Structure 1
Amino acid sequence: MTISAIQVGILHYPGALLSAVQGMAEQFYLANKICHQNGLGDVFQTYIFDSRQLSNPLNQPAGELQVIILPPCLDDRSYLAPENVVTDWVKQHHQNGSIICSVCAGAFVLAKTGLLKGRRVTTHWALAEEFARLYPETEIDCNKLLINDGDIITAGGLMSWIDLGLELVAQFTNTQVMRQLGKYLIVDTGPREQSYYRSFTPRLDHGDEIIVRVQHQLQRNFNNPIMVKAMAQQAHLSERTFLRRFVAATGLKPTQYLQQLRIQKACELIEASGMSFEKVAEGVGYEDLSAFRKTFIKITGQTPKEFRKRFFRAAPASAETQKQ
């Protein structure tokens, strides 16, 4: 049995990550080899489009593109202000029925088309705050590595183009082909979350000097009991005014901020040492191990044990130790 060819367009717009552009083309090439082994024929026809050539009709494929992919981008000047020829081209193909996909900062290019209004999407966790500020009508969920919304698919991290490719292979062939491709590439085809890799990096450039001083205090004393009322008094503000200014500056309530800060410190301890979870919890200010575990799962999407298994690597034994 053969499957009708799926035409995939990868858009090489200014600043697009070349390794992702070429890598996805090669991923679909390998997918076709596995499709052949399963009697499906060549399923994917891949085209790379240079944005400078989009207005030339001679550079368009003979049929409609079923999929268009906006790769990740490292140049903020490019993804924050994409060329009109790029956004117009994407919108036109979406109107013609193409599935539009973005990876990492490619979500900014896609959002510029207006197609993400009212949608739930993802992008790189480090870009989520800026995305939410620029496109408040779009729901951003940077904990997710990939969100498939039918005609719009968004992927989060720089390397999540691999996950997007696997998603498309599964969608247009079957999960067996996708898993075979994952095994050949030696990549994990199981479900993952971007929250596994996220780090808490507090904003300190918001311009509220009083809140910045409070943030520095929290950074120094995160493992001690901290009361909102006491923080407000030290800031010489009423509790209500303090809460309003803190949320406006950081995007989080003080208790949420402290939780994020403590779990980030816990992750650093787990990654850097073989310290017991009880000692880690105590070291970041949690007396109740159960409360620490629940908060850790809520923020990172995995248990402390799963986090250690994924990210902790013991130092190799020295030559002297090996001799003993």
Structure 2
Amino acid sequence: MLPINPLFVTYCLAAELKKPDLIIVPAFYGDRDSMLKKHKDLINWVSTKYHEGSEVASLCSGIYFLAEAGLLPGRSCTAHWSDMEDIVRRYPDVNFLSDMVITDQEGVYTSGGAFSSLNLILYMIDKFCGREVGVWASKMFSLDMDRISQSHFAVFKGQRKHNDDDVLKAQTYIEENHHLPLTIDDIAARANMSKRNFIRRFKKATKNTPFEYLQRVKIEAAKKALEKGSQSINLLMYDAGYNDIKTFREVFKKITGLTPQDYRRKYNREEIYLN
């Protein structure tokens, strides 16, 4: 198949490339373990070429190849937000930034989920070809320039992939009662633990402190209300468990990257069609 533009594409085996300027590892679908096992030679090749001077980029789940190649320890990285728990479990020395669309450190690039890969391609066009070409590509392909956050896409799944039954019970209690004036002391007491021990075990199991977890549960409830109905911001704030509008807005924006009003305009069906 020939390209429709005047560029020529030369196909060859990866092993035939002596020193590529840039290696892009695409996303893949399927069982992670079997894919990584199947492509050990490719992973070793990526590692070798990086240390010989090539730069390496991953699109979405392609990050697993970079991690297996040993290119991520001590570096910040991103991928689809739903991969966070698995990546942190497999590679605990990796600084995973689930809210970022793109990371760029020492010739290693990673990108967020699905279409965020296009943002990385646009970023590299901007970086290697100049701002003028980057802006042209942004307009030509209708892509947002300089988009850095994917946090408003994330769905909080509760981080329940652990074996601490007491913490699981505490999580359930928080999720069912987030609208009440809960305190960490009360939750720790219900779990029959000292506050200090409860915080330690909770963070070890979920990667969040109990306070952070409570805030994320509240904000997830508020997000769902903003997506579905026309309830006022003040009312849905109370239903989520907040009683101060300033605090609610600050926490909401910190977690999602958007104000409550902007989130509603972006994801509420009635708002989308009315505007």
Partner of 1:69: 24
Question: For 1:139 and 1:195, how far apart are their aligned partners in 2?
Answer: 16
Give the gaps of 5 or more residues in structure 1. Answer: 1-25, 37-41, 318-324
Partner of 2:241: 285
Instruction: Write the letter of the residue equivalent to 2:250.
Output: K
- Following TM superposition, by how much is the alpha carbon of 1:47 offset from its aligned partner in structure 2, in angstroms? 5.8
Q: 1:290 to 1:225 in 2, by over 3 A?
A: same
Match of 1:261 among 212, 217, 222: 217
- Following TM superposition, by how much is the alpha carbon of 1:117 offset from its aligned partner in structure 2, in angstroms? 1.8
RMSD: 2.5
Partner of 2:84: 128
Partner of 2:251: 295
Partner of 1:204: 160
Residue identity (%): 28
Question: For 2:239 and 2:47, how far apart are their aligned partners in 1?
Answer: 52
Q: Is the 8 A contact 1:228 1:239 kept in 2?
A: yes
Question: For 2:238 and 2:189, how far apart are their aligned partners in 1?
Answer: 27
Q: Is the 8 A contact 1:79 1:105 kept in 2?
A: no
Size of the aligned set, in residue pairs, is: 272
Q: Is the 8 A contact 1:266 1:281 kept in 2?
A: yes
Length-normalised TM-score, structure 2: 0.89
Question: For 1:308 and 1:190, how far apart are their aligned partners in 2?
Answer: 22
Query: Residue 286 of structure 1 aligns to a residue in which SS?
Result: coil
Instruction: Write the letter of the residue equivalent to 2:26.
Output: P
Q: 1:258 to 1:80 in 2, by over 3 A?
A: farther
Question: For 2:143 and 2:178, how far apart are their aligned partners in 1?
Answer: 37
Are 2:179 and 1:223 aligned? yes
Instruction: Write the letter of the residue equivalent to 1:68.
Output: I
Worse-superposed segment, 88-97 or 248-257: 88-97
Q: 1:125 to 1:64 in 2, by over 3 A?
A: same
Question: For 1:225 and 1:80, how far apart are their aligned partners in 2?
Answer: 46
Query: Residue 269 of structure 2 aligns to a residue in which SS?
Result: coil
Deviations 1:126-164 (A, max 9, x none): 111221222222211111100122411110112222111
Question: For 2:216 and 2:9, how far apart are their aligned partners in 1?
Answer: 42
Question: For 1:209 and 1:133, how far apart are their aligned partners in 2?
Answer: 18
Q: Which structure has the larger Rg over C-alpha atoms?
A: 1
Partner of 2:266: 310
Question: For 1:96 and 1:87, how far apart are their aligned partners in 2?
Answer: 14
Are 2:234 and 1:234 aligned? no
Q: 1:126 to 1:242 in 2, by over 3 A?
A: same
Matches within 5 A, 1:33-182: 54-55=14-15, 60-61=16-17, 64-75=19-30, 76-81=32-37, 83-182=39-138
- Following TM superposition, by how much is the alpha carbon of 1:115 offset from its aligned partner in structure 2, in angstroms? 1.6
Are 2:231 and 1:275 aligned? yes
Query: Residue 68 of structure 1 aligns to a residue in which SS?
Result: strand
Question: For 2:158 and 2:110, how far apart are their aligned partners in 1?
Answer: 25
- Segments of 4+ in structure 1 off by > 4 A? 45-49
- Following TM superposition, by how much is the alpha carbon of 1:46 offset from its aligned partner in structure 2, in angstroms? 5.4
Question: For 2:24 and 2:50, how far apart are their aligned partners in 1?
Answer: 12
Length-normalised TM-score, structure 1: 0.76
